[in-house]
Amino acid sequence: MYAYMDGFFVYLQTEKNASPNTIKNYDNDLYDGLIFFARALAKDDYSIHPAQITKNLFRSYLADMHARQKSGATIARRMSTWRSFFKYLCREGVLEDNPLVRVNTPKRDRRLPIFLAEEEMKQLVECPPQQKLLGARDHAILETLYSAGIRVSELVGINISDIDLNTGTIKVTAKGDRERLVPLGSYALEAIRFYMNQVRPQLIDVNQGRQDALFLNNKGGRLTDRGVRWLVKRYVQQLRIHIKTSPHTFRHSYATHLLDNGADLRSVQELLGHARLSTTQIYTHLSKERVKRVYDQCHPRA
């Protein structure tokens, strides 16, 4: 089984242009299933041939995940991973049929995204001490997250050449190496200009050679996802915000505030870089929930 999995990962990397994080997630999903199948087939050495994983055995795996109280989203993702794996094996001639063709994907939990109110977001992006070196950098980071609504992976991937201060846009690379141009607001542009002119030159480490990354850590290297999560957590704790807040909360808040202030759904889809409109539509449900709550609280005959 391991040889087939390795071949699948090479296929994902070379033909599907999958990112290392995507391949790592696929690996974790396949390994979780492999543990169950090995136990069910009494194969302590994991010497399983893919043909031994039947439709009924996979349904037992679904039941096992339910018993372990895995979320609907996790179960659906793992099933999608295995479906893709079996499809690859059919293409390679290892299997004649995909055993998951007639296995229904479990219904996913539909959770509304967590977001901050406009005033809370304003306080958060202005929280870093802008008179300090790293505070000014953090201020530019938070302004960019909220102004552009980008993912943390997109933020840390931004290079100097990706930002155009004249047009007020940045080029970000999304999942699957898809690129898109995202506009920046005046507050973010001002914070980035100050950071680039006054702060970034002081963070550059000459020993590391040329550094193209826009946002640098205190050692002069490219800032990481973990670094951004840590600084967001720090300022959230300072403000004593009780809502669970992460860099992705900025993206949820960005979309929600746009729709609340009259933006149309197609434009928000384009700005977020969603391939499907259905992905963006969850924010309309969020706005409807808020409107209904306001109505219930304020109308005398609600």
Active-site residue, 78 included: no
Q: Do 44 and 95 form a contact (C-beta atoms < 8 A)?
A: no
Active-site residue, 248 included: yes
By CB atoms closer than 10 A (0-12, 13-18, 19+), residue 109 is exposed
- Check whether 89 has a pLDDT greater than 90: yes
Catalytic residue among 175, 180, 222, 229: 175
Q: Is 95 helix (H, G, I), strand (E, B) or coil?
A: coil
Active-site residue, 285 included: no
CA nearest 33: which of 12, 16, 52?
Answer: 52
pLDDT confidence band for 210 (50 / 70 / 90): low
- What distance in Å separates the CA atoms of residue 36 and residue 79, rounded to the nearest whole number? 14
Overall residue count recorded for the chain in this entry: 302
Residue-wise pLDDT for 73-87, tens only, equals: 889 899 999 999 999
Catalytic residue among 43, 222, 274, 290: 274
Tell me the fold of 118-297: hpI Integrase; Chain A (1.10.443)
Catalytic residue among 43, 180, 222, 248: 248
Which stretches does DSSP call E strand in the chain? Answer: 163-164, 169-173, 179-183
> CA 296 from chain center: how many Å?
34
Q: What is the pTM of this model?
A: 0.68
Please report, rounded to a whole number, the percentage of residues in the chain having pLDDT higher than 90. 60
pLDDT confidence band for 1 (50 / 70 / 90): confident
Active-site residue, 68 included: no
Compute the Cα dihedral for 267, 272, 273, 279 and give only its sign.
Answer: negative
Q: Do 152 and 225 form a contact (C-beta atoms < 8 A)?
A: yes
- Check whether 216 has a pLDDT greater than 90: yes
Residue-wise pLDDT for 158-198, tens only, equals: 999 999 999 999 999 887 678 899 999 999 999 999 999 99
Mean pLDDT, all residues of the chain: 89
Catalytic residue among 26, 146, 195, 283: 283
User: What pLDDT is stored for residue 286 in this prediction?
Assistant: 63
Taking the domains of the chain in order of start, what are their residue ranges? 2-91, 118-297
- Check whether 290 has a pLDDT greater than 70: no
> Once rounded to an integer, what is the mean pLDDT over residues 225-237?
96
Catalytic residue among 77, 78, 137, 151: 151
- Check whether 208 has a pLDDT greater than 70: no
- Check whether 275 has a pLDDT greater than 90: no
> Once rounded to an integer, what is the mean pLDDT over residues 237-245?
92
Active-site residue, 283 included: yes
Please report, rounded to a whole number, the percentage of residues in the chain having pLDDT higher than 70. 92
Catalytic residue among 139, 251, 252, 257: 251
Residue-wise pLDDT for 104-150, tens only, equals: 776 666 667 888 999 999 999 999 999 999 999 999 999 999 999 99
- What distance in Å separates the CA atoms of residue 4 and residue 248, rounded to the nearest whole number? 35
pLDDT confidence band for 209 (50 / 70 / 90): low
CA nearest 4: which of 48, 55, 66, 67?
Answer: 48
Phi, psi of 270 (to 5 degrees): -65, -45
- Check whether 280 has a pLDDT greater than 70: yes
H or E element: which one contains 4? helix 2-14
Active-site residue, 151 included: yes
